[in-house]
Structure 1
């Protein structure tokens, strides 16, 4: 969890739009539900503190509403991804399949919440689908990088166990 939290914190410095879905989904896949939700909450809190403290987000009801929606969406993604169906823990293929489902399903859940609220908060305007597609690509790239790091970490642990058993 510490590596994900560190990477999530660093992503807040690099990007104004932190890949919250990627961190919440991968946290849910890799950690138990409580840790995944705690991780997602901490990364979201760092995102909000960075935005309001350093990036100059306006202290307005609209900005606070967006922040709250992002927080709710992030927590929902972490809870969804932490379902971890039985097959997702018994094989690499099942684990990889669940990672993909968690990211895609998490994005639909998170972005669906944003898209439902967007017309109400953005004076009746709608978010264009090309923007949604770009957001998904960013989340997918981050999730892939996190998954690769997670896979390397698991492989190293398994290698160490095999060495100890030999």
Structure 2
């Protein structure tokens, strides 16, 4: 069994990789950053504490990029929406973490359930926020489907990256997990 410090170092390596992906996503996609994908990937691959740090780090980096470089308005409504994104992302993480369970086994079924659950939780909390702050018109089937595809593609890419990094650099990212269908 790995020591706590080596496990923490591996978590930190993958946390940095996830947050690096968030930075790329923030610059490339601005308001379409795949927070549900980041939440699901973090929940499945990191300890609970490191996963929460990863998603909050991704959110914070996104906000810094948005407000500091992409010119997001600094009015109270935009700031509240930013906070709502953090809450939505944590909700998605919580659902995906529950799907992970305690086995630590990575299965295709669990991965599909984690991204689907994280996406639904993220969208529900975001929609509830929009009911208060405005913006429910942005929840058309076409827009939600576009976001779902975006998150699914990012999640697939993140999980492929995780498997490649654990296979190629196990001393840095940990041993590659067993992958099962169910």
Q: Is 1:56 equivalent to 2:71 in the alignment?
A: yes
Change (3 A) 1:124 1:150: closer
Aligned residues: 156
How far 1:54 moved relative to its partner?
1.3
Q: Distance in 1 between matches of 2:166 and 2:76?
A: 43
Name 1:8's counterpart in structure 2.
22
TM-score (norm 2): 0.77
CA RMSD across the alignment: 2.2
Contact residue 8 and residue 23 of structure 1 kept, 8 A: yes
How far 1:13 moved relative to its partner?
1.6
- 1:138 is aligned, of 150, 158, 162, to 150
Unaligned runs of 5+ in 1: 162-166
Contact residue 31 and residue 82 of structure 1 kept, 8 A: no
TM-score (norm 1): 0.84
Unaligned runs of 5+ in 2: 1-14, 176-182
Matches within 5 A, 1:109-124: 109-122=121-134
Matches within 5 A, 1:101-112: 101-112=113-124
Matches within 5 A, 1:1-166: 1-16=15-30, 17-83=32-98, 84-87=100-103, 89-90=104-105, 92=106, 95-122=107-134, 125=137, 127-156=139-168, 157=170
Change (3 A) 1:123 1:41: closer
